[in-house]
């Protein structure tokens, strides 16, 4: 599966799996790559019907849980940030496991541009005109055909995307917790105008093997390598997979960002930053003018994933008047990668909640 001579990287197809299994493989490959026990890898994967939330999201805010259960759709939490998604057998997932030295940068925006441009080239070779659109989408004639995202583990990075081969837009909308009017015939038609799949563009869906070959050749060309196929994970990865699956395949993992009812805060805000949609729920002690607790969720990308949890902990039971100093101080002392997010976005989000009791929703400058 090579394009030209060069270093040998691995390509592996892990097949159709439940989401917990797919994410456990994510964790295994990334942790073993960081430990120096896995080669640079291109992985292809597919999902049984799955409703997936980003790492920082609240399941009850994002998904129609009753519908998912009635339709036998698995609910699972990804290892990376971003928004809620519906996956099934008609989509092909692709992932790269590389390191910062190979990529020549730790800047997530630059990484996304390079990898997505290569992926777009592979998609285009199938007979369409695909292009990367910042921050992390691949489009054909302005319609999304692949969404992507990434996560760091030390010097290693997992960058992943999902390519629409065929796709049921109506089922996706029913899975997501969106207003009822979004499920009207007109809204469904509008949604179909914003996404597109290869089957629609080409008249019939290409085989998965043909798509994989095109993507493999594009990444080989971009990085000047050749790919060697592997049929299974190595010993390190298999052990790490078993450990990760035990953690991920559990309600505790899936619902970890859901707030207990008896701790539900009174104040909420929504802020559409340049880095994605952000939500805050804040419990406030008005008598002391303190933040009792802050919960932050949303469709955004940060690394490490526990950054948001650490920020929430740093703001627990602190004066509202010290919000700006505390947030800026937290980020000044923390090593992090954020995709088009700034400390000021977190300050703005929380300030919207504590300054106004009704639900607030605003757009970042330049957004419409």
Would you state the pLDDT for residue 3?
A: 37
Given the DSSP bridges, would you call strands 337-338 and 302-303 parallel, antiparallel or unpaired? Answer: antiparallel
What is the structure's pLDDT at 266?
65
Length of the chain: 368
Instruction: Outline where 18-155 has alpha helix (H).
Output: 19-34, 59-62, 65-70, 100-103, 108-124
For residue 224, give the nearest of 3, 40, 38, 1 by alpha carbon: 3
Q: In this structure, how many other beta carbons lie within 10 angstroms of the beta carbon of residue 287?
A: 6
pLDDT reported for residue 267: 87
Give per-10-residue mean pLDDT for the chain (368 aa): 66 98 96 97 97 88 92 92 87 96 91 97 98 92 90 90 90 80 67 88 96 98 97 97 96 81 64 92 83 87 85 90 96 89 96 68 41
Q: What is the pLDDT of residue 295?
A: 86
- What is the biggest distance separating any 2 CA atoms in the chain, rounded to whole angstroms? 69
* pLDDT at res. 4: 43
Domains 7-254 and 261-363 equal at CATH topology level:
no
Q: Can you give the pTM of this predicted structure?
A: 0.75
- Tell me, what's the pLDDT at 259? 61
Distance CA 313, CA 308 (A): 9
Give the class (CATH, top level) of 7-254.
Answer: alpha beta
**pLDDT score for 358:** 38
For 15: left if phi > 0, alpha if psi spans -120 to 50, otherwise beta; the answer is left
CATH 3.40.640.10 fits 261-363, yes or no: no
Kind of pairing between the strands at 41-47 and 7-17: parallel
Close Cβ partners of 95 (under 8 Å, ≥ 6 residues apart)? 26, 29, 41, 42, 43, 44, 45, 158, 159, 160, 161
Q: Where are the domains of the chain?
A: 7-254, 261-363
3-state secondary structure of 76: strand
- DSSP assignment, residue 275? T
pLDDT of residue 323: 97
Rounded-to-integer distance, Cα 183 and Cα 170, Å: 8
Nearest CA to 149 among 139, 134, 168, 127? 134
Q: What is the spatial distance between Cα 245 and Cα 237, in angstroms, rounded to a whole number?
A: 12
Provide CB contacts within 8 A for 106, sequence distance 6+. 100, 152, 337
| Sign of the C-alpha dihedral computed for residues 168, 169, 174 and 176 taken in this order | positive
Dihedral angle sign, alpha carbons of residues 292, 298, 303, 306: positive
The predicted structure's pLDDT at residue 359: 36
């Amino acid at each position: 599966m090579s394009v030209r001579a060069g270093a040998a990287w691995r390509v592996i197809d892990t097949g159709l799996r439940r989401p917990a299994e797919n994410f456990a493989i994510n964790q295994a490959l990334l942790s073993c790559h960081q430990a120096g026990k896995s080669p640079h890898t291109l992985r292809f994967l597919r999902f049984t019907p799955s409703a997936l939330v980003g790492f920082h999201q609240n399941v009850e805010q994002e998904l129609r849980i009753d519908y998912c259960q009635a339709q036998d759709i698995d609910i699972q939490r990804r290892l990376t940030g971003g928004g809620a998604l519906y996956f099934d057998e008609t989509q092909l997932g692709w992932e790269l496991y590389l390191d910062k030295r190979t990529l020549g940068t730790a800047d997530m925006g630059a990484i996304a541009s390079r990898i997505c441009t290569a992926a777009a080239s592979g998609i285009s070779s199938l007979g369409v005109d695909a292009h990367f659109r910042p921050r992390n989408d691949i489009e054909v004639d302005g319609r999304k055909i692949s969404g992507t995202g990434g996560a760091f583990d030390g010097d290693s990075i997992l960058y992943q995307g999902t390519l629409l081969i065929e796709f049921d837009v109506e089922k996706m909308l029913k899975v997501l917790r969106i207003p009822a009017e979004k499920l009207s015939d007109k809204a469904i038609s509008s949604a179909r105008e914003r996404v597109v799949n290869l089957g629609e563009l080409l008249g019939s869906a290409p085989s998965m093997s043909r798509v994989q070959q095109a993507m493999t050749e594009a990444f080989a060309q971009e990085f000047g390598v050749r790919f060697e196929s592997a049929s299974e994970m190595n010993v390190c990865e298999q052990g790490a997979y078993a450990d990760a699956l035990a953690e991920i395949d559990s309600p505790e993992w899936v619902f970890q960002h859901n707030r207990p009812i008896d701790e539900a805060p009174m104040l909420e805000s929504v802020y559409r930053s340049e880095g994605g949609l952000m939500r805050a729920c804040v419990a406030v002690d008005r008598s002391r003018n303190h933040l009792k607790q802050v919960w932050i969720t949303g469709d955004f990308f940060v690394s490490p994933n526990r950054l948001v949890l650490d920020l929430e902990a740093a703001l627990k039971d602190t004066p509202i008047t010290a919000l700006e100093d505390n947030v800026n101080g937290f980020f000044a002392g923390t090593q992090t990668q954020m995709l088009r997010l700034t400390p000021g976005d977190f300050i703005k989000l929380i300030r919207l909640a504590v300054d106004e009791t009704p639900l607030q929703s605003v757009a970042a400058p330049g957004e419409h």
